[in-house]
Amino acid sequence: MLASGARIASLRLESRIGRGGMGEVWRARQDGLSAPVAVKLLHADPARREDRARAFLVEAQSVAALDHPHIVSILDFGLLTEEEAQGVGLWPGCPWMATELLTGGSLRERQPSGWPELRGWLEALLDALAHAHARGLIHRDLKPDNVLFDDAGVLRVVDFGLVLQLDKAGTEAPFSGGTPVAMAPEQLSGDWRRQGPWTDLYALGCLGWRLATGRWPHEAAGLPELAAAHAAGRLPPFVPRLALPDGVEAWLRALLRPAARSRPAPLLAASFPARPQRGGPRLAAEGGAARAQPSPGGGLHPQPRRLALARLCTMAAAGAEQEAQRPDAAALAPTRGLAGVP
């Protein structure tokens, strides 16, 4: 049983922050440092320890390879020694990782104050995904709970527990799972060999739709019905709860196309909405000042963001084109009546 005061390496656990199905997160202090850190430890029943531990270490190694202002920073990771395991009530060899402590809450607890803030969040997420994708890592579980903020309001993508490593695709199956309301059809089908950057783009579309409207694009009572809705691609009317520029709806609908090969091409990057909205109250003078200043939740200027967006969309389009050339790709093509966006 974990307890306050237990030690792991140079870390002393202070208080539990949260607990999930696979582990716990604790606030901790490192010897010689005043700033607190977060320590994540794996919990798993004996029958599933090996698989869970492998996925946990893949996550730690993957995040350690990333260095981006919108991705959580990992400070250390390792395996519990026998002495440490006894002290925390876990088994020897149990994996752990220490990351920066983010105390600004999650995206689940926030609503955008307007288009400038929403745009900042979306661009920050695109930057983070572009960085991970360029290093062959697909997140596969982008959702409000996995987007945290620091005290300054800068967001970080966290929890790479379902990460797909493209350099190992075809040799090692990733840990299965995800959040059905934000999962692409190819992920819901369970065929991880068809997943790639375009899968994260779909999840971003789901998240953006929810932030803009307050609802997920597809909602259903059960998993089979939800999976069918994602595959069909019939989206509900887009009813934003804040004033948005022209183009936001079309941009989101493009991200949410059920067929991976039909999701954003590089041209979509140049069309990321920036002009005053249609519908709802006008956003006076939104066009100039918002582009000249760093966006809320961001920290990077718009031009690097635009380049990151273009890079991400280019990678997704290239991957989808390769997918379309597979001999059995025709089996994935939706019928004309279920093609989603016109």
Q: What is the CATH number of the domain that holds 24?
A: 3.30.200.20
Most confident of 26-30, 85-89, 287-291: 26-30
139 shares its domain with 82: no
Q: Is the pLDDT of residue 249 over 80?
A: yes
80 shares its domain with 19: yes
For the entire predicted model, the pTM comes to 0.78
What pLDDT score was predicted for residue 304?
42
What residue numbers bound the domain in which 92 lies? 7-100
Q: At what angle do helices 197-213 and 302-324 cross, to 10 degrees?
A: 130
Helix or strand or coil: residue 209? helix
40 shares its domain with 111: no
What pLDDT score was predicted for residue 185?
95
Average confidence (pLDDT) over 261-266? 70
Tokens representing 253?
Answer: 């609908």
What pLDDT score was predicted for residue 244?
95
256 shares its domain with 294: yes
What pLDDT score was predicted for residue 47?
63
Domain end, chosen from 100, 128, 161, is at: 100
Q: Is residue 2 part of a domain?
A: no
User: Can you tell me the distance from the alpha carbon of 312 to that of 205, in angstroms, rounded to the nearest whole number?
Assistant: 14
Domain end, chosen from 65, 100, 135, is at: 100
53 shares its domain with 146: no
Q: At what angle do helices 248-255 and 197-213 cross, to 10 degrees?
A: 140
151 shares its domain with 282: yes
Instruction: Output the domain CATH number for residue 229.
Output: 1.10.510.10
Q: 219: pLDDT confidence band, cut at 50, 70 and 90?
A: very high
Phi then psi for residue 31, to 5 deg, are -55, 130
Choose among 118, 122, 69, 76: nearest CA to 95.
Answer: 76
Q: Is the pLDDT of residue 188 over 60?
A: yes
Where helices occur in the chain by DSSP H, the ranges are 49-64, 82-88, 115-134, 185-188, 197-213, 223-232, 248-255, 266-270, 286-292, 302-324
151 shares its domain with 296: yes
Choose among 35, 29, 34: nearest CA to 14.
Answer: 29
What pLDDT score was predicted for residue 307?
45
Average confidence (pLDDT) over 23-45? 86
Domain end, chosen from 82, 100, 118, is at: 100
pLDDT tens-place string over residues 64-110: 999 999 999 999 999 999 999 888 888 888 999 999 999 999 999 99
User: Can you tell me the distance from the alpha carbon of 129 to that of 312, in angstroms, rounded to the nearest whole number?
Assistant: 7
With 0-12 / 13-18 / 19 or more C-beta atoms within 10 angstroms meaning exposed / middle / buried, residue 196 is buried
User: Can you tell me the distance from the alpha carbon of 179 to that of 81, in angstroms, rounded to the nearest whole number?
Assistant: 33
User: Can you tell me the distance from the alpha carbon of 4 to that of 59, in angstroms, rounded to the nearest whole number?
Assistant: 25
User: Can you tell me the distance from the alpha carbon of 228 to that of 185, in angstroms, rounded to the nearest whole number?
Assistant: 8
What pLDDT score was predicted for residue 327?
39
Q: Which of 141, 150, 167, 200 is catalytic?
A: 141
60 shares its domain with 140: no
Phi/psi class of residue 107: alpha, beta or left (left: φ > 0; alpha: ψ in -120 to 50)?
Answer: alpha
For the question of residue 159 being annotated catalytic, the response is no
144 shares its domain with 94: no
What's the domain count of the chain? 2
